[in-house]
Structure 1
């Protein structure tokens, strides 16, 4: 099992940042590994909501299904995989004000089978992708009119 955490500061109100990162349908805009992500349960997004993701990982297309475990606007959200190539949990923790927000994103994953042999490479790829994605969140949100 590995855990990676990345942090970014966004010059936007906490509610706006949560609305963006907390809506799975926005993820393809900021996470380059995601081909598509859709809500597979009725709106609004809340604890128990389900999400389906198609993504590129380690050179191939994979699919994950997720369930929302925690949804506490505007300060946190946790989703965990219910199917996919490995058990994975993604947690967002937001702190901030009406002017700026710190986003702390943590991914925990448990590779199994042959993936255990390349776990350090998977971990680094996940960390790098998360860092790049959070930087993209910052660029997108700070580029919007206030």
Structure 2
């Protein structure tokens, strides 16, 4: 298993940061690899919500489902993603601070098959990718109207 974690400070109120992160349909606005997101379960976003996502990977697009398994507004979002080569379970946590919100992430990646052999490379790529995604999230929230 590979664990990836980090944190970022976003100069926006904690409820706004949580709500934007909780609605996976927002991800294409800050993550250029995310091509589409569809909510496939009925009702409001919360524990049990499932999103169908499509991302660009080298040479092809890949689709997979992301399930929200814990939802405690505005403090914690936990999700589980299963793909053919990798399972990812982890959480975003949110804390109000003087200058906005501290958001932490922690993901446990469980590679399958031959990908297990590439765990050290997967860890390095995952850390770099998560930092890129969450910096895009921060830029988007801080520079949109009212930000």
TM over 0.5: yes
Please name the residue that 1:22 is paired with. 22
Structure 1 residue ranges without an equivalent (≥5): none
User: Which one is further off, 62-71 or 16-25?
Assistant: 62-71
Structure 2 residue ranges without an equivalent (≥5): none
Please name the residue that 1:112 is paired with. 112
Please name the residue that 2:51 is paired with. 51
The number of residues matched between the two structures is: 146
Report the alpha carbon displacement of residue 97 of structure 1 after superposing the two structures with TM: 4.5
Please name the residue that 2:93 is paired with. 93
| Structure 1: distance between partners of 2:26 and 2:121 | 27
| Structure 2: distance between partners of 1:57 and 1:127 | 17
> Quick check: 1:46–1:68 contact (8 Å CA) kept in 2?
yes
Please name the residue that 2:126 is paired with. 126
Alignment pair present for 1:6 and 2:6: yes
> Quick check: 1:62–1:84 contact (8 Å CA) kept in 2?
no
> Quick check: 2:85–2:115 contact (8 Å CA) kept in 1?
no
| Structure 1: distance between partners of 2:59 and 2:105 | 23
Q: Secondary structure at 1:45's aligned position in 2? A: coil
TM-score by length of 1: 0.90
> Quick check: 1:67–1:82 contact (8 Å CA) kept in 2?
no
> Quick check: 2:78–2:89 contact (8 Å CA) kept in 1?
yes
Q: Secondary structure at 1:125's aligned position in 2? A: helix
| Structure 2: distance between partners of 1:97 and 1:9 | 9
